[in-house]
Amino acid sequence: MNPAQALAAWNRKILEAYSRRTVEALRAILPLRLALPRIESFLAENVAKEAEKDAMVIARVGAALAAGKTPGEELSQQLLIASREIDRAFLARVTDFPIGIVIRYEETEPVRIRRIKCLQDAACRILEDWSRSGGGRATMRSSYPRVELERLIHDLMRLYALETQTLSRSLRLPALLVPLRERLAQSLYGVMNEVAQSLAREVAGIVYRPAKSSGMRLPKAAKSETSAGEPALGIEER
């Protein structure tokens, strides 16, 4: 696994943990329990879609650096256009869902380009430092002070939450659930932002804690998963 692939795998595991914790938090909001069974599958597919887009960003940054180029605005715009292909595959996968989805690019893309640029800059910074610092957690620590790393992770998840909120307003729900759509959109962003803050703090803490095991895991690991069912985050101890 090359550095770009390792970074993309770690990012995917964080997003998957983020999605699961969001669903768990939404279950505690009583009015949304009616809609949750219908949107839970949407959230799972949506996080897979975003992880694929992120992997594309990281891979393209890695390729640019390998070619001696500095990723910039031109690459960001290329990635924005390429992300629509991933959207089309996503829409094809969810045709049988109990909800309809329409992607309004005029609403989602201003947020999406901000997230692409944020991730592109972070990937460039981390991958440039990878070989010098030895990879894994050592590279994260070398690239970002703890406070900055926590802020970066939170910003990336917050932008993901904003785009998900915009997308949730485009859901075609059954007639009985339509009145919940705006409540769902507002609650979804609020919950996702709270989860983002706590998870960003947790991940930064893991990166900066002393090495004790062979894998970088969420707290209270048991076998291959934590007690909360969270998998290892996938960055080896260095």
- Quote the CA–CA distance of 216 and 66 in Å, as a whole number: 27
Let me know if residue 223 belongs to a domain.
no
Let me know if residue 22 belongs to a domain.
yes
Q: What's residue 27's pLDDT?
A: 78
Count Cα neighbours of 19 within 13 Å in the Cβ-side half-sphere. Answer: 21
Let me know if residue 94 belongs to a domain.
yes
- Cβ proximity of 83 and 53 under 8 Å: yes
Let me know if residue 81 belongs to a domain.
yes
Note down the domain range covering 75.
3-210
From 94, 93, 92, 9, select the one nearest 52 (Cα to Cα): 9
**Overall pTM > 0.85:** no
Let me know if residue 191 belongs to a domain.
yes
Extended strands (E) in the chain: 221-222, 225-226
Let me know if residue 217 belongs to a domain.
no
Let me know if residue 215 belongs to a domain.
no
**What total of structural domains would you count in the chain?**
1
Task: Look up residue 188 and give its two tokens.
Answer: 């979804």
Count Cα neighbours of 125 within 13 Å in the Cβ-side half-sphere. Answer: 15
- Residue 225 φ then ψ, to 5°: -135, 165
Count Cα neighbours of 171 within 13 Å in the Cβ-side half-sphere. Answer: 32
Let me know if residue 227 belongs to a domain.
no
Positions of the chain with pLDDT lower than 50, given as ranges = 213-216, 218-232, 236-238
Q: What's residue 220's pLDDT?
A: 41
- Residue 223 φ then ψ, to 5°: 55, -125
Distance of CA 9 to the CA centre of its chain: 11
- Assign 33 to helix, strand or coil: helix
